[in-house]
Amino acid sequence: MRKNFKIDKFEVGKRLEKARVSAGFERPSHAARALGVGESTYTNAETAKRPASPSRLAYYAFKFGVTLDWLLTGKGRGPANNGQDRVAQIFEILEDFDQWSEDHQRQAIDLLLVVEKARRKTVTVPTS
């Protein structure tokens, strides 16, 4: 079943700006140069004067380390600035865990167990 939803180009622009800043680009011009696009092309996407195409948004999302879903809707993996953001992202991902297939649930649990095991083996060496 397809869900219809409306994309708010201004919210997309705000999220694009947040992703850019989180990726370390203080100015839109710096991001545009690094992305290999014209400054006005990028700035227009951020300000919603001329929204970027879905394929270009997917490219920006990939380069900024967020998901296209997050850029479009605010759901999915966005820029994680601190531990609280990461915890919120985990809860958002797991929100519909009970609707996942049994195989996907098992894979997610197995992955978390591997990460936890590796975390416990990590030894912090004090520096002087």
pLDDT in tens, 76-99: 888 865 455 566 667 777 888 888
Architecture of domain 9-73: Orthogonal Bundle (1.10)
Cα–Cα nearest to 79, from 66, 90, 69, 88: 66
The residue ranking higher by pLDDT, 110 or 42, is 42
The residue ranking higher by pLDDT, 33 or 96, is 33
Confirm whether pTM is higher than 0.75. Answer: no
pLDDT value, residue 82: 46
